[in-house]
Amino acid sequence: MELTKLRQSISRIDSELLRLLDERMELADWVAEYKWEHDLPVFDPVREAEILEKIPEEYQGIWKEMMDVSKRRQEEYLKKNS
């Protein structure tokens, strides 16, 4: 396969990953609203551990960063609504 075609395939996948990340972050906003309404903390170490144990070790850094972004968004939401 040509390099150009391989790169096009990667770009297509990157676009889909971005769409899914946007969807995930929108759901994180809803989670923040729920946590605000029920006076729950942003960080749930049990939930985070449950997620990470399902992720292959080589991808855990990506997942941790994604969860960190989600937590920052939730914290911003809670600050706005405090």
Question: Which residues contact residue 51 at a Cβ distance below 8 angstroms, ignoring those fewer than 6 apart?
Answer: 63, 67
One DSSP character per residue, 39-65 reads T--S--HHHHHHHHTTS-GGGHHHHHH
CATH of the domain at 18: 1.20.59.10
pLDDT in tens, the chain (82 residues): 899 999 999 999 999 999 999 999 999 999 999 999 999 999 999 999 999 999 999 999 999 999 999 999 999 988 888 7
Q: Domain containing 56: what range?
A: 3-80
Structural domain total, the chain? 1
- Hey, how many other C-beta atoms are within 10 angstroms of the C-beta on 32? 22
Decide if 73 contacts 54 (C-beta within 8 A): no
Indicate the pTM of the whole model. 0.85
